[in-house]
A and B are shown apart, each in its own frame.
Chain A
Amino acid sequence: MHHVLLDRWSQGTSPLHRRDARAKILALLVFLVVLATTPATAVAVLATYAALLAAAILIARLPLGGVVTRAMVVLPFSLTFALIAWLAGEPLRALALVEKSYLSTVAVLLLAGATPLSLLLGGLERLGSPRLLVLVAQFLYRYLFVLSEQAQHMRLAASCRDSGAGHRRGSRFRAATGALAVLFARSYERAEGIHRAMLARGFSGRFSLLHAPRFGARDGAFLLLVSAFLILVRLG
């Protein structure tokens, strides 16, 4: 499945994986802002960004092909708008739209592929996101797999019971409604169970990590280097 792959990528031990999540998040933001303000005509600058991303993917030891393919999720959207700009007689703008949206997607994918989500969320919390928001995100991601699998089982079971032919749309709609309601009720019960189990294991209202992440000198140097490089390239 889609996100299982990302989970495996993020377990690596490359230099990029070892950087503190905060440094990576801030570096991503610098990259995205610099990219967003780069004019469409600066082809060489955009090419340098692409080269930098490719180098980072190799350093992180992520599969280049896999990253390139997965980042294509943005293409349907950007190609539509690029086509319109092209037809409107702005080919350069069309090209830049595709390039820039694709590069941004690769950059975000790089962050998600080089940082386990729990650490990423921890970094966001240390950068000032509300604790409640981050806590809910941790739970959501943890149970995303579980509930998706349950929904898939229910869909499979429904299609086993359904002969397929001769059913009216109304009855299928009702069946889907029932499935969602059951999924809702089961999720609700599961949440109550989870909370009791967590209390039993001494949950204090905050996730604690075995090794608290430290923002070391290397993380600072990484952030500084990446930002300086990007801004120098941008200013020419």
Chain B
Amino acid sequence: MDTKLPEKNGELRFLDNLARTTGRRTFVQWAGLTLGVVALGCSDDSSGPPGDGEVNLGTGDTGILNYAYALEQLEAAFYTQVVASFYAGASADEQALLTDIKNHEVIHRDFLKAALGTAAIADLTVDFTTINFGDRASVLGAAKAFEDLGVSAYNGAGQLLTSADYLLIAGKIVSVEARHAAAIRDLLVPRSSANGSFAGDDVVDPTTGLEFPERTPAQVLTAADTYVTTTINASGLPTS
């Protein structure tokens, strides 16, 4: 697919470029379109049935919850790998912070899996070969991308839910993701920098004070597919 990403969004461009610079591709179905996805090796820390083939997120609120579950699987797998062997020079504070985030993401993942019950998608197979887990900048850069992406995903998905209970669940999670995002950004850029990285002008529109962008599932899955080997079928998700 030739995904046209918003020009103002550097993170998406970055992720998209990552996808374009790699050779092997599998494909994900999105509402009749085919999105290019990178598939390299795989590493999977999960214990459930593997989803090496295709998972179908389903329809309606269940589909949106599965979409969130997929993202939380991705985040949990990432931080699990981060914490398993910290990058060189990780301070005690950084290790504690990243361990906290890892624990939160695992809890989010398991919570959504339990909420979905038998409707939960299989465990995704992830691919983090583009991330250098020994390098601080690579790990924190990826963490920032994941957290900002996660917030934009939940912000965009709220309106797709029909259940107020599920909306509240999403709300309980997304603000913690935003807290993570600010903290990771805090590690990357000195606090006293102009326009404060924690809620910088790149992620909070300075003309409205709103976090931007809010992303559609198609946009998010396109960005995340760099890190997922499993084919994610999102064709049943609501679009409005």
The answer to whether A and B interact is no
